[in-house]
Homo-oligomer: A and B are copies of this chain.
């Protein structure tokens, strides 16, 4: 329903987005999410409720937009000198972050406000970006490596499936085992 929020930095549009996102985060921290309403968010952000409805459509879409923003990685993945080490390190951190209670809540919000898959697609694009950084480094080192889609299918997807559908089955060892399976079975020389 809602248009893609523009992110031209410095413009009025970007200022509105920043203050509304900040209002959501503050109110959520202060009062919990069950009491969030568009009028309260608007009052805190210093905009009119109709500004929010016009831009985001409804509360669910706004929460999805805020959630996706929070799932955005802040830094590129660490470079530990080998593909295996980079993937293991990244996967363990991804599993830990996404399976934490706030991580889960953000994933659920991103999926909920999402009849056409836009917000969830942005989450997946973040993972693609991180994986591609790791794979580009491996290529630079001349290491054999799987392709991006293979990493998504056999490393990211299993972790996300367990986080969403089988939350009892998660520990860092699981992430490492997936990396081992991935590199044992799906590696092709460059």
Contact = CB atoms under 8 A, between A and B. Distances in A.
Interface of A: 108, 111-112, 114, 117, 120-121, 123-124, 152-154, 156-158, 160-162, 164-168, 178, 181, 184-186
Question: How many copies are assembled?
Answer: 2
A166 B124 CA distance: 7
A140 to B, nearest CB: 27
A54 to B, nearest CB: 19
Nearest to A169: B149
9 contacts: A112-B112, A124-B166, A152-B161, A154-B154, A154-B181, A156-B161, A157-B162, A161-B161, A184-B185
Given A154-B154, A158-B154, A165 B108 contact: no
